[in-house]
């Protein structure tokens, strides 16, 4: 077991320090101290989520504790273990869920819904995250990497789990279904892949102008048709097969316009899964969902069993997440990484820690 002196050794970290646009900077921070049931993970790779630039620009409508180190998608190597940790050891390759803390006692936690516990605190939002060199991780959210999963690939486990949770745990998708995915970001592309794994025969991914590179990758991940024009996508979906629309629409963009599009694309008695966040009011009636008897699932996050299943799929190379990585930077280039994601030049951008 290694021991550190947090007061002496400092690290570089990307810190959101105030509730205002642009209030993020590279700061010196101390190595986190771990508790008896924690491990200290030396971060190898941390992925930039689309929410990270939103937090940087103060464009989110959920609570954030500042100052906080950003970053919630990561992989690394165990550097130190707490005194009561028995099932993990120094040197093991790991990744971790985003649920840095939760009560473990309420009805939600006791029924495997700890991801929506009232006391849940997420990395990079409420608890210091992974845009640094070391992160404290409770063993209850830690996952050991299978042999065939690289540390680089493991940093993308979290967005894969979001797509898996939505489509496997919270949809009635069946072989032969027509699935429409709106928003060809990493989670949208991974939703297409999960739909393919589950047997959907027609998978339509809808983006906008500027998404051409992302849509090309979506084809590699199972999309059968891709569109940059939503009206063209609508005509195709409503004219193909029996003409009733998509069995399932997955809204990975979250904004007002895409939910309206999802309402137009879904067939009567179909399903919409909303993954993407949208901070503004919709501004239109939801009554068409009633007249079409549509089921709407608002899906958030993931839990332990989802992570284990996703790691198995990664280990067996049923999905190859590294194909989503377009850029790799050091954390002092975090601003460039955010800009790459915002401009859509980058799909999945990974950050490497520095001292």
Give yes or no for a contact between 309 and 124, defined as CB atoms under 8 angstroms apart.
no
Q: What is the pLDDT of residues 104-130, one digit of tens each?
A: 999 999 999 999 999 999 999 999 999
Residues 153 and 15 both lie in one domain: yes
Q: What is the mean pLDDT of residues 85-94?
A: 98
- CATH number for the domain harbouring residue 86: 3.90.180.10
pLDDT category of residue 237 using cuts at 50, 70 and 90 = very high
Residues 275 and 202 both lie in one domain: yes
Residues 150 and 198 both lie in one domain: no
Return the pLDDT at 63.
Answer: 85
Boundary (domain end) residue, out of 298, 314, 332: 298
Residues 152 and 179 both lie in one domain: no
Pairing status of strand 142-144 against strand 134-138: unpaired
Percent of the chain having pLDDT more than 70? 98
Q: What average pLDDT is seen over the chain?
A: 96
| φ, ψ at 314 (rounded to 5°) | -70, -40
Return the pLDDT at 279.
Answer: 79
- CATH number for the domain harbouring residue 175: 3.40.50.720
Q: Please determine, for residue 259, whether its predicted confidence score (pLDDT) is greater than 70.
A: yes
Q: What is the pLDDT of residues 298-325, one digit of tens each?
A: 999 999 999 999 999 999 999 999 999 9
Residues 338 and 301: their CA atoms lie apart, in Å, by 22
The answer to the question of residue 264 being in a domain is yes
Boundary (domain end) residue, out of 298, 313, 329: 298
Residue count of the chain, please give it: 355
Helix axes 157-164, 186-197, angle to 10 degrees: 50
Q: Compute how many other C-beta atoms are within 10 angstroms of the C-beta atom of residue 178.
A: 24
Those residues whose C-beta lies under 8 Å from the C-beta of residue 349, and which sit 6 or more positions away, are: 47, 48, 325, 326, 327, 328, 329, 337, 340, 341
Residues 269 and 139 both lie in one domain: no
Q: What is the mean pLDDT of residues 6-12?
A: 75
Q: What is the mean pLDDT of residues 278-289?
A: 90
The answer to the question of residue 166 being in a domain is no
Return the pLDDT at 8.
Answer: 61
pLDDT category of residue 61 using cuts at 50, 70 and 90 = confident
Residues 247 and 311 both lie in one domain: no
User: Strand, helix or coil at 343?
Assistant: helix
User: Strand, helix or coil at 235?
Assistant: helix
Q: What is the pLDDT of residues 17-57, one digit of tens each?
A: 999 999 999 999 999 999 999 999 999 999 999 999 999 99
Those residues whose C-beta lies under 8 Å from the C-beta of residue 78, and which sit 6 or more positions away, are: 39, 40, 41, 42, 88, 89, 90, 91, 92, 94
Q: Please determine, for residue 2, whether its predicted confidence score (pLDDT) is greater than 80.
A: no
pLDDT category of residue 144 using cuts at 50, 70 and 90 = very high
Q: Which two tokens stand for residue 94?
A: 């790991």
Distances (CA, A) of 43 to 4, 111, 150, 151, 315: 16, 31, 13, 10, 20
Q: What is the pTM of this model?
A: 0.95
Q: Which two tokens stand for residue 256?
A: 């007002």
Return the pLDDT at 3.
Answer: 52
Residues 220 and 280 both lie in one domain: yes
Residues 34 and 147 both lie in one domain: yes
Distances (CA, A) of 56 to 25, 126, 141, 234: 9, 14, 26, 34
Q: What is the pLDDT of residues 164-219, one digit of tens each?
A: 999 999 999 999 999 999 999 999 999 999 999 999 999 999 999 999 999 999 99
Q: Please determine, for residue 7, whether its predicted confidence score (pLDDT) is greater than 60.
A: no
Instruction: Give the number of domains in the chain.
Output: 2
Closest CA to 177 of 232, 245, 233: 245
Residues 287 and 319 both lie in one domain: no
Q: Compute how many other C-beta atoms are within 10 angstroms of the C-beta atom of residue 135.
A: 31
Return the pLDDT at 6.
Answer: 46
Domain, as residue range, for 199: 171-298
The answer to the question of residue 194 being in a domain is yes
Return the pLDDT at 193.
Answer: 98
Residues 152 and 133: their CA atoms lie apart, in Å, by 15
pLDDT category of residue 5 using cuts at 50, 70 and 90 = very low
Residues 19 and 153 both lie in one domain: yes
């Amino acid at each position: 077991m290694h021991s550190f002196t947090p007061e002496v050794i400092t690290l570089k970290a990307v810190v959101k320090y105030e509730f205002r646009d642009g209030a993020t900077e590279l700061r010196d921070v101390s190595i986190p101290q771990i508790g008896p049931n924690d491990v200290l993970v030396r971060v190898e790779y941390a992925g930039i989520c689309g929410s990270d630039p939103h937090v940087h620009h103060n464009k989110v409508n959920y609570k954030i504790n500042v100052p906080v180190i950003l970053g919630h998608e990561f992989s690394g190597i165990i550097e130190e273990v707490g005194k009561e940790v028995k099932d993990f050891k120094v040197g093991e390759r790991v990744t971790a869920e985003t649920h840095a803390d939760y009560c473990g006692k309420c009805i939600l936690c006791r029924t495997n819904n700890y991801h929506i516990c009232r006391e849940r605190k997420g990395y990079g939002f409420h608890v210091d995250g992974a845009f640094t060199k070391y992160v404290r991780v409770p063993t209850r959210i830690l996952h050991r990497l299978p042999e065939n999963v690289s540390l680089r690939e493991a940093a993308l486990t979290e967005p894969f789990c979001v797509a898996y949770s939505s489509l496997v745990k919270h949809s009635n998708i069946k072989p032969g279904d027509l699935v429409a995915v709106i928003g060809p970001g990493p989670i949208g592309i991974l939703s297409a892949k999960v739909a393919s794994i589950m047997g959907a025969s027609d998978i339509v991914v809808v983006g906008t102008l500027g998404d051409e590179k992302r849509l090309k990758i979506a084809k590699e991940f199972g999309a059968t048709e891709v569109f940059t024009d939503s009206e063209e996508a609508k005509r195709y979906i409503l004219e193909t097969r029996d003409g009733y629309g998509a069995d399932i629409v997955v809204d990975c963009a979250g904004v007002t316009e895409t939910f309206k599009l999802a309402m137009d694309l879904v067939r009567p008695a179909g399903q919409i899964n909303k993954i993407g966040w949208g901070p503004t009011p919709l501004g239109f009636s939801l009554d068409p969902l009633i007249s079409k008897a549509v089921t709407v699932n608002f899906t958030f996050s993931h839990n332990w069993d989802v992570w284990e299943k996703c790691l198995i799929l990664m280990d067996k190379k049923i999905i190859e997440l590294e194909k989503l990585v377009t850029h790799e930077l050091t954390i002092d280039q975090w601003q460039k990484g955010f800009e790459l994601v915002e401009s859509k030049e980058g799909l999945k951008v990974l950050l490497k820690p520095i001292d």
